């Protein structure tokens, strides 16, 4: 069976179904990040209550701790973390790029020192495929060479060429028939390079494709332009995944440019800073004026937090330093982004995406931070 079924497309925005061994996922979809087999502060049961069907975990972190052998012995990542839904594992290329000390990349792979204890390791395209097969995720990412923002075209070309070669090697080493492996398009901020690499990767016929190396320091408008240019070169019948993007505005803008899948730590990280996402903008719950606001976070939200708790209570929890505060707001923020993706899908299917997205973006622009009435 194909990894993806496309149901509707309106001016580039797409509604489809992602098929995995742990269930079908309606797209567009936002995937909460569970880097170390845990979405920070949120239980698997709470994720399910939010309507989440797929999460992301990171192969680099799980390789270092607790190790793929232990997770495989536990029955795989789903059993280990008690998550019945689908799991996508990132290959670790970005983590080596951003976290590790004494990292070096060559055509063989990444050679790096662990950010935990300084021990030396090497990731190759083949070893990362084997690692993710041991973890047992539903979707695995090939190893990619991530170039920093602002690099010259020569370095971006090197990154793109190496990523293409690694994708070829990774595909040849795949053993699992249950796991879908996605390739990753690199190319920095160079449109012709990204389009060329997307075209070459599409010829390799992977089950899906990711757009990587963006939202790492370049101008947002430039990132969106690269997304649009890349998406146009990718197959219509394969899912498209924009890595590391998760604000409401970026989701809407990127869905409009043909993206189906997203992941980001944004909803949980924002919650730890007392920032709640709502249909009218963002709430900073450390604002003292929320102390007597007895409305839910968002009157249009049906999540378990909005059904049970007020802004005043949540603001009190943050002032008191209670660990429940970021947990509850994380649940709400994840629900909000999940519902936003569902709304976008509905608007695509019924042909109203252009008007829906314009209205949504206008509201978000006009009310970035909401004050109580």
Measured over all CA atoms, what is the biggest interatomic distance in the chain, rounded to whole angstroms? 61
Question: Parallel, antiparallel, or unpaired for β 120-123 and 110-113?
Answer: antiparallel
330's tokens: 């994380």
pLDDT in tens, 43-63: 999 999 999 999 999 999 999
Look at residue 96 in the predicted model and tell me its pLDDT.
85
Burial annotation 256-278 (CB, 10 A radius, 16+ → b, else e): bbbbbbbbbbbbbbbbbebbbbb
pLDDT in tens, 181-221: 999 999 999 999 999 999 999 999 999 999 999 999 999 99
Calpha distance 201→240 (Å, rounded) = 13
- Residue 298 a catalytic site member: no
216's tokens: 């790492």
Domains of the chain, CATH where assigned: 4-264 (3.20.20.105), 271-366 (no CATH)
Calpha distance 328→309 (Å, rounded) = 9
Query: How much is the pTM?
Result: 0.97
- Report the 10 Å Cβ neighbour count for 89: 24
With beta carbons less than 8 A apart as the criterion, state whether 193 and 157 touch.
yes
Q: Mean pLDDT across the stretch 118-137? A: 97
With beta carbons less than 8 A apart as the criterion, state whether 72 and 135 touch.
yes
Look at residue 369 in the predicted model and tell me its pLDDT.
63
Ramachandran region of residue 51, left (φ > 0), alpha (ψ -120 to 50) or beta?
A: left
- Residue 117 a catalytic site member: no
Catalytic residue among 144, 145, 250, 263: 263
pLDDT in tens, 319-353: 999 999 999 999 999 999 999 999 999 999 999 99
Question: Parallel, antiparallel, or unpaired for β 139-141 and 86-90?
Answer: parallel
Catalytic residue among 90, 138, 145, 250: 90
Closest to 337 (Cα-Cα) out of 278, 257, 287, 274: 278
């Amino acid at each position: 069976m194909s990894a993806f079924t496309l149901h509707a497309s309106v001016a580039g925005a797409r509604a489809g179904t992602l098929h995995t061994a742990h269930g079908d996922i309606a797209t567009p979809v936002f995937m909460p990040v569970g880097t170390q087999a845990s979405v920070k502060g949120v239980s698997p049961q709470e994720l399910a209550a939010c309507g989440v069907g797929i999460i992301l975990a990171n192969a680099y972190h799980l390789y270092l701790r607790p190790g793929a052998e232990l997770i495989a012995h536990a029955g795989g990542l789903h059993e280990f973390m008690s998550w019945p839904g689908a799991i996508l594992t990132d290959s670790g290329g970005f983590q080596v790029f951003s976290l590790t000390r004494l990292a070096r990349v060559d055509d063989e792979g990444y050679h790096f020192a662990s950010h935990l204890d300084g021990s030396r390791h090497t990731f190759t395209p083949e070893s990362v495929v084997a690692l993710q097969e041991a973890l047992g995720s539903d979707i695995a990412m090939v190893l990619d060479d991530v170039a920093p923002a602002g690099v010259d075209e020569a370095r971006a070309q090197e990154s793109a060429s190496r990523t293409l070669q690694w994708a070829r090697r990774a595909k040849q080493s795949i053993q699992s028939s249950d796991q879908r492996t996605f390739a990753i398009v690199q190319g920095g901020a160079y449109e012709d390079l990204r389009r060329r690499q997307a075209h070459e990767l599409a010829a390799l016929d992977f089950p899906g494709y990711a757009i990587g190396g963006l939202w790492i320091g370049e101008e947002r408008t430039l990132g969106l332009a690269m997304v649009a240019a890349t998406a146009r070169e990718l197959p219509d019948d394969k899912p498209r995944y924009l890595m590391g993007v998760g604000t409401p505005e970026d989701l809407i803008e990127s869905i409009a440019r043909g993206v189906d899948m997203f992941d980001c730590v944004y909803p949980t990280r924002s919650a730890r800073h007392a920032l709640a996402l709502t249909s009218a903008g963002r709430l900073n719950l450390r604002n003292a004026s929320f102390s007597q606001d007895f409305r839910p976070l968002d009157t249009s939200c049906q999540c378990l937090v909005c059904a049970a708790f007020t802004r005043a209570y949540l603001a009190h929890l943050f002032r008191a330093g209670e660990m429940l505060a970021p947990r509850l707001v994380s649940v709400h923020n994840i629900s909000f982004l999940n519902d936003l993706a569902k709304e976008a899908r509905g608007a695509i299917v019924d042909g109203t995406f252009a008007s829906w997205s314009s209205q949504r973006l206008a509201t978000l622009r006009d009310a970035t931070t909401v004050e109580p009435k």
